[in-house]
Chain A
Amino acid sequence: MEEQKGIQKKKLHKKNKRIRKVKRSSGLFIAPSFLGVLVFFVIPFLVVIFYSMVDNPIAKNFVGIENYKVVLANNAFKRAVTNTFRFSIVAVPLAVLLSLLLAIMLEAKLPFRSQFRTFFLSPMMVPVASVVLIWQVLFSYNGAVNDLLAHFGVDKIDWLKSQYSHVVIVILFLWKNLGYNMILFMAALASIPKDILEVARLESANALQTFFYIKVRYLSSTFLFVTIMSLINSFKVFREVYMLTTDYPYDTIYMLQHFMNNMFKKLDYQKLSSAAVLMSAVMVVIIGVLFLTEKYFGKDVEG
């Protein structure tokens, strides 16, 4: 008995030793990535939090949460948040739903399917400067769209400096991102097990039932991914807006990034950092909600 216990102990000791060895070597292999994330993401974020708690980047006197109060009370910040939120709430769902629709259409046996796919993917290859140029040609006060409208007797619209600027930016965002999302959905649709769809067909399920009860479930992770990516890309639209309208655009397209970019130029790092921390907190909440939603809808999906 004692002997058996001893043997078991030895085996356990060997097993633990092996586990520790595996963990050590795994740690070594993960270390470069971990260091990279630490150096390029975690530490800079901590620095941002530090800057959000000092009076300015020169004196660096600790002021606690004063900067957050100042930023939250700042009208420009409030305007930027409103515009960014409004843009995201419109553009992101549109980007997800329209790209899904396109993916479903292209999945069907339509003629010129590959040409349509190329057509929707081509905006991804266009450089930002060219995108801006195209949009200027189309939507400037003397642009092609106004020329076209003039033929129909409609007065010129200042697309980028009026209430319509929001619409122009949404169109720009959709034009740029639909292709990429569409490809993701197409891949996801192709990976849905055919046998389940066949079973559904045999069980007399109609297309809508098949879509909502089976395809949506299998697409849940893709939905999550596309939504997150679209949300991230919705912030990147600042690039095009900035090149179209510079530092101080019309107030309806003044985004959070404008605020942060201008604060950076003025060395107002404390305001910039406070805004960035607030924004990341909101993003964490949104993405958390998305993950929970995906978990709910995708719980029945295999793998």
Chain B
Amino acid sequence: MSKKKRLLSICLSALLLLGVTACGDKKTETGESKVSVDSTTPTLSGEYVYVPTFYSLKNTDENAYVGNTVFHGDKLYYTLNKYIPEKEITETQLMVMDINDVSKAEQVELPVFEEEGYVKYLSAMEMDEEGNLYLVYFLTPPYEEGKEIGPDDCKDILIKYDKDMNLVYQSDLKDMYVDENNSYLSYIVAGKDGKLIANSNDVIYVIGADGTPENSIPTNADYINRIFSTADGRVFFTKYSNMAPGMEMVEVDTEKYTLGAALKDLPNMNGNVVAGPEGKLYMPGDKYLYEYDLTTGVATPILDWLDSYVTADFVSDYLALPNGDFLLYYEDWSNGTKELVKLTKTKASEIPEKETIVFATMYDGDQMIQRAILEFNKSNPSYKMIYKSYVDDTVQWTEDTYNNAVTAMSMDIISDNPPDIIDLMNVNVPNLAAKGVFEDLNPYLEKSTVIKREDFVPSALNGYTFDGTLVTIPRSMNVYTLLGKKSMVGEKEGCTIEDLMQLSLKYPDSDLMAYSTKESVLAQFLRFNRDAFIDIEAGTCSFNSPEFIKLLEYANTYDLDADYTKDLPELIQENEILLLDLGLMDVQSYQMYHLMMEEEATCIGYPTVDGSLGVYFNGNGMYGITTKSTHKDAAWKFMESFLEYDGKQRMNYGGLSTRLDELEERFKEDMTPTYEKDANGEYKKDAEGNLIEYPKTTWGYGNNWEATIYAATQEEIDAVKALIAAAKPVFENDEEIYGIIQEETAAYFNGQKSAKEVADIIQSRVSIFLSENS
């Protein structure tokens, strides 16, 4: 090769290499990567973290709640509202705190404002740049039993005080509203030239500098989340509309009383936007706080809430400080604490390294588990648990996004660095358990000083034990079964497909279940009966058998679409249906369904192969530790933190607790009647001298039916316990088979194919599925 050619080839190779090394994120001057909000996976640059410092809000009576907050310069003004039951009024105090010294707060003396014949409530507050204070009082007549209070009886009074608390004006806004549904101001914001911009429902109101309403602007929003103004006087509001996915932001022209075009494609956030210095806006999402540049339309995630030991849903208000720090008003409504949190922007390299534990989930936005992670991180400073979601909440959920998320999680699981803890929602638990993905929790239960195997409902543990390996412990469970009138279904608990078909034949004028369709009837029959047609061990099935064809033909006697003209109580009481779907979340739901029957009822259960009681459950709060985790002890410590019970449940997923002590406590409460007392504290008695019992709850269903639920009997509690003991989980593999059945039976139910043709196709397809797994 000649020298010239050699030189040319070297230059070309070098150029090629340079081109490869030039790939990467664009960097701003500060070194932070700017990721467009259109990216499906927003990520932080990692260069800075925000270190939190928590300050308890002073002078906060636990019975008082913070109503409004306004940041003004170096001060935080907030109102404390406390209901005085003796006077039947709410007292409001205005407090001020210096954000540079949050150890003390002072009360600001508000001028007295009263209007005879009304009870007042401070509904909105604002302070402009000059320090003028604007208050909106919502006035309503005092409550009188039997007297209805309508919108015309109430009014809003807008009051402006100067910085020395001298009255500037007082304005009655009653005639401002465009209709009676708009009669309560949610927000007020100071605009240019002394104007105020406010909203009531979906209408924006512009109020002049003298307090006189100037104009109203309808927005057609389903919900206005917040109005805010920027430093240069521009006013925006965030809204949610059923016609558009996600929040939108709209500018208000207070001179022309018009709205600008809606800014869309914003990051997935809660609408609580705040204006910061240098024209930046801040938008809080579930995972990140975003910085939004109005000129470029680019949103950049700048902080991860969990990294800063806070969760987004407790951030009621916040302020962006000029030095890049943030001040949050943080109210944990789960325990009533109210704090001011200062987030100090710090270089990540200055923070000591922590061991990272990864919590992986297919679900983005579980605030409960994020709070649990936050608490764990706070109390275990050597660890940092991160919440890793495989589903990006900025992308619409479709089957493809789910499949991609499953693939991403699978890749992580088999890698050498899998997540430490996996959220088992939307995960094929039996398949992964068979591959030894999950750690056996039995040894951990034996060694634990906090929780034991005996603490939990056996069926909840047995349901998630595969070949002796306990993969998870559900925190609570929702139990489902079928209920029928004893006079019609008999006393026997449990049934087979044949039993139900015979029952249906016995009462030809009644449907088996409410709102039954061909598809739903088939689903109900198959839920616990796939074993009748499937031999898992042999990997064979018999969906082309006469029994299955008979089942198809039976399901085909129902309609394609459900008839919702009658309510459930009406249907069961008039014997138009034979069975009720009992969804057991608590004892009261059990009582309610029985009351709906209006006579003695039998839990007949979903049909099973052997005629035993068919009860199934969905577990809530189920997490597994991976066998390849290098932080198993820390992961177990995390799980212990919400599996233990000390009288206060840390994670409330609803449903029935899987802890026996918590269940017993709940059952005791359900069985304990409470009685009405008079004003003197004496028990009330009826005409016969019996104590009058308070209902536990009142349950309305549909338009005309209502049930009053009282303390449960021991018999009812025992029945609930029996259902819990008999419950079994339903897994994703079953859903795969049912998906094939559902897909193919559609042609039969639509009259396009015969039952035999469809049964043959199902047999062919499900055989393949079973063969693969055998």
Q: Give residues in A with beta carbon < 8 Å to B.
A: 56-59, 74-76, 79, 141-142, 156, 158, 161, 248-251, 254, 258-259, 262-263, 265-267, 269
A141 touches B628 (CB 8 A): no
Chain A residues near B768 (CB-CB < 8 A): 76, 79, 248-249, 251, 254, 258
B761 touches A75 (CB 8 A): no
Chain B residues near A254 (CB-CB < 8 A): 768
Q: Is the interface of B mostly helix, strand, loop or mixed?
A: helix
A141 touches B772 (CB 8 A): no
B764 touches A250 (CB 8 A): yes
**CB-CB nearest in chain A for B16:** A32
Chain A residues near B766 (CB-CB < 8 A): 248
A76 touches B772 (CB 8 A): yes
Q: Give residues in B with beta carbon < 8 Å to A.
A: 406-407, 410, 413-414, 428, 431-432, 435-437, 539, 627-628, 740, 744, 747, 752-753, 757, 761, 764-769, 771-774
Give the complex CA separation of A265 and B402 in angstroms: 13
Question: Which of the listed residues B406, B435, B768 has the most CB atoms from chain A within 10 Å of its own CB?
Answer: B768
B771 touches A267 (CB 8 A): no
A88 shortest CB reach to chain B, Å: 20
Q: Would A57 and B764 be within 8 Å (CB), given that A248-B769, A267-B432, A267-B435 are in contact?
A: no
A56 touches B435 (CB 8 A): yes
Give the complex CA separation of A141 and B757 in angstroms: 12
Rank and list the top 6 A-B pairs by shortest CB-CB distance, nearest first.
Answer: A76-B771, A75-B771, A76-B772, A57-B414, A251-B764, A248-B765
B740 touches A158 (CB 8 A): no
Chain B residues near A258 (CB-CB < 8 A): 768
| CB < 8 Å neighbour of A250 from B437, B761, B774 | B761
| CB < 8 Å neighbour of A158 from B431, B757, B771 | B757
**CB-CB nearest in chain B for A25:** B1
Chain A residues near B428 (CB-CB < 8 A): 266
B627 touches A248 (CB 8 A): no
Question: Which of the listed residues A75, A156, A258 has the most CB atoms from chain B within 10 Å of its own CB?
Answer: A75
Chain B residues near A74 (CB-CB < 8 A): 771-772, 774
Give the complex CA separation of A254 and B628 in angstroms: 35
B324 shortest CB reach to chain A, Å: 44
**CB-CB nearest in chain B for A80:** B768
A25 shortest CB reach to chain B, Å: 8
Give the complex CA separation of A261 and B60 in angstroms: 60
A58 touches B767 (CB 8 A): no
Q: Would A56 and B431 be within 8 Å (CB), given that A263-B772, A267-B414 are in contact?
A: no
Give the complex CA separation of A117 and B752 in angstroms: 40
B436 touches A59 (CB 8 A): yes
**CB-CB nearest in chain A for B406:** A265
Q: Would A58 and B436 be within 8 Å (CB), given that A249-B765, A267-B413 are in contact?
A: yes
A58 touches B437 (CB 8 A): yes
Q: Would A58 and B435 be within 8 Å (CB), given that A75-B539, A250-B764 are in contact?
A: yes
A216 shortest CB reach to chain B, Å: 42
| CB < 8 Å neighbour of B765 from A56, A75, A251 | A251
Give the complex CA separation of A252 and B474 in angstroms: 42
A141 touches B752 (CB 8 A): yes
Give the complex CA separation of A59 and B413 in angstroms: 11
A56 touches B772 (CB 8 A): no
**CB-CB nearest in chain B for A258:** B768
| CB-defined A-B contacts under 8 Å, sample of 20 | A56-B436, A57-B435, A58-B437, A75-B539, A75-B774, A79-B768, A141-B747, A141-B753, A156-B752, A158-B757, A161-B761, A248-B740, A249-B768, A250-B764, A251-B764, A251-B767, A258-B768, A265-B407, A266-B772, A266-B773
